Chains A and B, each alone.
Chain A
């Protein structure tokens, strides 16, 4: 059973370009979460999605960032007009249950975004 897959693993963008990060959850998981880890900092929650719905986006920056999890295909985290401060590791996690105490999240290997 494949784990959570993220691609690309490394992404380099110049300031002002767009970055698209993809996450394929574990088989059977319909809940996806995105986290960001800035250099030398801890992981910060960004957004929680179920299929076709955003459940909690309390950690998403108000501008330039968006996320989706369509009925078919991977979840996408999209960053428009990237700036150097967006350089970070972006981790995706998935789970098979809704909000419950047994909602273990399984993480992917991350995408390391570098903005030049």
Chain B
């Protein structure tokens, strides 16, 4: 699976959009980009995933660059409950060992008043 690079930490004011970047310059054509988050020692929570098109769900939006070498997770209106470590993961699809998630160090997002 391709390696990802994320900033170690970010701050965001409550109510503002939080934009979390991720570099995955070695991503291959059959790899998807997944985002998970872990709120203070809880189990990780799935947020969103995408291949090459931008994606949006009730939690967030995922913007993937045209060359797919980087992506941005957007939380449109961050709240204090969004304070967490956010993990960007790329995974190969449709292979026997594709199912495991390889977590990096992630970005620690601190949402402040």
Contacts and interface: CB of A to CB of B under 8 A. Distances in A.
Contact of B43 (A48, A91, A101): A91
A98 B99 contact: yes
A45 B87 CA distance: 14
Q: Which of B41, B43, B103 has the most CB of A within 10 A?
A: B43
Interface stretch (B13-21, B45-53, B69-77): B45-53
A100 B92 CA distance: 8
A100 B98 contact: yes
23 contacts: A31-B99, A33-B101, A35-B101, A42-B105, A43-B103, A48-B100, A56-B97, A58-B97, A98-B99, A99-B93, A99-B97, A99-B99, A100-B94, A100-B98, A101-B32, A101-B51, A101-B94, A101-B98, A102-B49, A104-B34, A104-B46, A105-B101, A107-B46
Nearest to B34: A104
B103 A107 contact: no
Interface string A78-116: 000000000001010101001111111111111000000
Interface of A: 4, 31, 33, 35, 42-45, 48, 55-56, 58-59, 89, 91, 93, 95, 98-110
B99 A55 contact: yes
Say which size band chain B's interface belongs to: 20 to 34
Interface of B: 30, 32, 34, 38, 41-46, 49, 51, 91, 93-106
B42 A110 contact: yes
Contacts of A91: 43-44
Contact of A42 (B51, B91, B99, B103): B103
Nearest to B41: A89
A-B pairs, top 3 by smallest CB distance, nearest first, are A107-B43, A101-B93, A99-B98
B43 A4 contact: yes
Contacts of B96: 55-56, 99
A93 B101 CA distance: 10
A42 B106 contact: yes
Q: Which of B38, B49, B100, B102 has the most CB of A within 10 A?
A: B100
